[in-house]
Chain A
Amino acid sequence: MFAKQKLKSAGVSTLNSMKMSIPVLLGVLLLISLITHVVPKKAFSSLFSGNLVLDVLIGSIIGSISAGNPLTSYVIGGELLKQGISLAAVTAFILGWVTVGAVQIPAEGLMLGKKFAFVRNGVSFLMSLAIAVLTVVTLGEL
């Protein structure tokens, strides 16, 4: 069905991709596991100040430097809401968590380019602030 040469060339390209990516993926998984185990989940709420504007910024920063399954960010976000943290700050926290990946920047930089990784994460960080505010304004909860 496929020419031997074509199969071989596709196989070699895939192997080269694997050789490049597997050490990076292993490194990211090791880092994520370390952060997940070392940082206690209850530590998050103590970092908020009570000031709405500042809390949005803090939420986004904490989300951006955290790592793990997005589901964890919903669970922590839900707990933060219960503890009286504003919806805007919790939204910024979730958005930072799911759209920015400080832990993954080295891996993203290695595979997609350093400039791309820094610019993309920087833009995503700023957008997490904007979307958090827009979301609560749209919901009439500000």
Chain B
Amino acid sequence: MIRKLFDKIGAQWVFLITVAVVYTVVLIIHPLACVESFFGFLRLIVRMLPVLALVFGIIFFTNLLIDPKSISKHLGEGSSIRGWLIAIAGGIISTGPIYMWYPLLSDLKAKGMKTAYVAAFLYNRAVKIPLLPMMVFYFGVRYTVVLTVYMVLFSILNGLAVERLITDTQGDQ
């Protein structure tokens, strides 16, 4: 029955309906928390709209201007150091929350982007240049530099490990 529901309306709507059910339960148990959360959600949406517009703008122009073959060439198998640099720089300079970038990465993955680069991009989303002064304020310059360097270096290990583990599991099946 659940399988049928997934096929009929799509997993994305099942997910949203499930979240709505969670809100309904919270509304019954703790109405104030539910109302505050919902208004918090509305404020989040308003804040996220520019990023969302940017992401879908990039998706549109990627579809319009970039040939899938060129994505395979720069971010696919055999793209090597250039691919890593694009994934790392892309992850660092991209703004907004991580989940806003899932649609674009899904699109690029379908066009041939390597799994390792997708993982490295997502890992580097943790390096937030505009927030570095805040980290310096709380933890100091040395700590911020050391942690940032480790995060960037480990993003490559993360990408390699994720790709390896996914390939190994697929091979076992």
Residues of B within 8 A of A95 (CB): 126, 147, 151
Which residue on B lies nearest to A130, using beta carbons?
Answer: B154
Please, how many angstroms separate the alpha-carbon atoms of A120 and B105 in the complex? 14
Please, how many angstroms separate the alpha-carbon atoms of A91 and B55 in the complex? 30
Which residue on B lies nearest to A35, using beta carbons?
Answer: B37
Residues of B within 8 A of A116 (CB): 115, 118-119, 162, 166
Within 8 Å by CB of A74, from B23, B56, B138, B146, lies B138
Task: Tell me the B16-32 residues at the A interface (CB within 8 Å).
Answer: 16, 18-20, 22-23, 26, 30
Contact with A along B101-131 (1 / 0, CB 8 A): 0110111010000010011001101101001
Question: Per DSSP, are chain A's interface residues mostly helix, strand or loop, or mixed?
Answer: helix
Interface size on B, residues (CB 8 A): 68
Residues of B within 8 A of A123 (CB): 119, 158, 161-162, 165
A47: CB under 8 A from chain B? no
Size range of the interface on A?
35 or more
Question: Per DSSP, are chain B's interface residues mostly helix, strand or loop, or mixed?
Answer: helix
A111: CB under 8 A from chain B? yes
B98: CB under 8 A from chain A? yes
Within 8 Å by CB of A30, from B41, B97, B106, lies B41
Minimal beta-carbon separation of A42 from chain B (angstroms): 16
Please, how many angstroms separate the alpha-carbon atoms of A71 and B128 in the complex? 10
B92: CB under 8 A from chain A? no
Cβ contact within 8 Å between A135 and B102: no
Task: Tell me the A100-131 residues at the B interface (CB within 8 Å).
Answer: 101, 104, 106-108, 110-112, 115-116, 119-120, 123-124, 127, 130-131
- A-B contacts, 27 listed (Cβ < 8 Å): A20-B12, A21-B102, A21-B106, A23-B12, A29-B48, A30-B23, A33-B40, A34-B33, A34-B37, A34-B41, A36-B40, A37-B33, A37-B36, A38-B30, A38-B37, A87-B143, A98-B125, A99-B123, A99-B126, A107-B15, A115-B166, A119-B166, A123-B158, A123-B162, A131-B147, A138-B150, A139-B142
